[in-house]
Amino acid sequence: MSKHGRIVRRAALGTALAAAAALTIGGIAYADNINDTIEGLGAVTLVAGDSTSTGSAQVKVVPNNGDSDSGCNIDTNEHFVITFVTPAGVTASPASMSFSDCNVFQTVSFSAAAGAVDGTVTATITTNTTGAGSYNNNVQIPIDVTAPVVVVVDADGDGVPDASDNCPATANADQANADGDALGNACDTNSYAPKAGPSPADGNGDEGSTLSTSGAFTDADGNDSLTIIKVSGAGTVTDNGNGTWSWSHSTADDATGTVVVQAADGEHLAASETFNWTASNVAPTVGPVTATHTSACAVSLNAPFTDPGTADTHTATISWGDSGTTNVAPATSAITGSHAYTANGTYTIGVSVTDDDGGNGTGDASFATQNTPSALQQPINATGTRSSFKIGSTIPVKITVTGCDGGAVSTLTPTVTLTKLDPTPDNPLNEASLDTVATNGLQMRWSDTQYIYNLSTKLSQQTGAALTGGTYKVTVSDSSFFAPVSAQLDLRK
């Protein structure tokens, strides 16, 4: 295998000289050529911290016949490696080079990080060949590191460079920044956090009503920039679009609660307002209470009631006024009931309705018992064949009256009236003629066990006019009767 002496030739060029591939031995800082040498030419200028600022140099091994191994010392299948040593902050790429032949240029590029310093790049032989030749290491590449050119831009002319101006397009020499974000007040449409207004009034009222209250938030950026929502609690919060809000809550029962309302501007910490609400129980309202006779001594009661607390449940008690009571549970409107009295009198019937919260409402009605008259007694037929009397005779009209205790009532003055229904009597005479003294006036009298009235058929005891044949109705009435009693009879000549 032949041996070739070598010189490592180094050409250091700026970016603009990178195309100079044919570097001759006669360049600047030409290495000593006594033995195989590495030669260099030129310098590299870099801008510190500028990744676009790079420089490069070319390096090759030049054979030299002056050493013990004439010609290129790199034999076949051998290689020769150098590693670059750079000033602080300067990077070589590649960091090392491998040569497998002489007179072949290889390029190394350099860049400078921020804070890099000037200096000279050198190379060390990290892998040598095994031949007899020697190398003259002449790699010395000067590096000149310059500071980057700083261009100060102040587009808005406020004396603050754009790079540190929080409103580079809007003059704001004071750099005021209320919320401490990246934008100053002058160009930030959302510089201020929302604030709560005066504490809203509590929303109080009665159950069954719609409770309401209102409040307001403020924002120095404009109240219309706020979004207001209910965070917790019952009811509905309406955002009025100008920083104010309103709340309403329809209640069906007594209850209490707390509502939290929040205003947010999409950037800053939201503001909150809190209020309480109370729906108070309302007692039911009873009435009007009506008491209706179903008989002289029996009553049917109807007592409607209302309660604005539609969720309430109720119980009721009817006090009949004679120590009798009726309990109703559950109670719904209207309360109804019936009762029979065993003694005559005027009674106050009371109705009490209580809701599940203890609210109580009452109402009452007055009820006066009545008396029960019997049917008209003989000689007048109250039922069956109609009695027929001869005109001019006297007809005894008789009844009995009982009270609620079943006993006879003897202190009344029932009234008798005679009304003509038809001028033509239907039946022939079927009753005996009596000739007794007619009663003066229209009122019956008590006689031992009954009330009696002698009805004249000659002259009307009501008008004094003469009576003529026909069908008549005899009626007995009294203000204490549950109903008057009557019967029809015929008068004939």
List the chain domain ranges.
Answer: 8-146, 195-280, 285-368, 372-492
Is pLDDT at 27 greater than 60 in this prediction? no
- Range from 245-254, 285-294, 453-462 carrying the lowest mean pLDDT: 453-462
Which one, of 196, 204, 198, lies nearest residue 263 by Cα? 196
The full DSSP string for 179-221 is T-SSS-TTT-S--S--EE-SPPPPEEEETTSEEEEEEEEE-TT
The answer to whether domain 8-146 and domain 372-492 are alike in fold is yes
pLDDT (0 to 100) of residue 22: 25
Instruction: State pTM to two decimals.
Output: 0.62
Say whether domain 372-492 belongs to CATH 3.90.1310.10.
no
CB atoms within 10 A of CB 418: 21
Q: Is 370 within 8 Å of 414 (Cβ atoms)? A: no
* Dmax (CA) of the chain: 192
Q: Which two tokens stand for residue 171?
A: 């003059």
Spatial neighbors of 413 by CB under 8 A, at least 6 apart, are 443, 444, 445, 478
What pLDDT is recorded for position 69? 63
The mean per-residue pLDDT over the stretch 293-308 comes to: 98
Q: Which CATH class is domain 285-368?
A: mainly beta
Q: What DSSP character marks residue 406?
A: S
Name residue 80's beta-bridge partners. Answer: 99
Q: What confidence tens digit (pLDDT) does each residue in 284-294 have?
A: 999 999 999 99
Task: Categorize the per-residue pLDDT at 178 as very low, low, confident or very high, splitting at 50, 70 and 90.
Answer: confident
Tokens of 86: 């750079």
Pairing of strands 445-447, 415-422: unpaired
- Of 40, 38, 30, the C-alpha closest to 6 is 38
CATH assignment of 8-146, among 2.60.40, 3.30.519, 3.40.50, 1.10.3470: 2.60.40
Cβ–Cβ under 8 Å, residues 219 and 226: yes
User: Is the CATH number 2.60.40.10 carried by domain 195-280?
Assistant: yes
Q: What is the DSSP letter of 116?
A: -
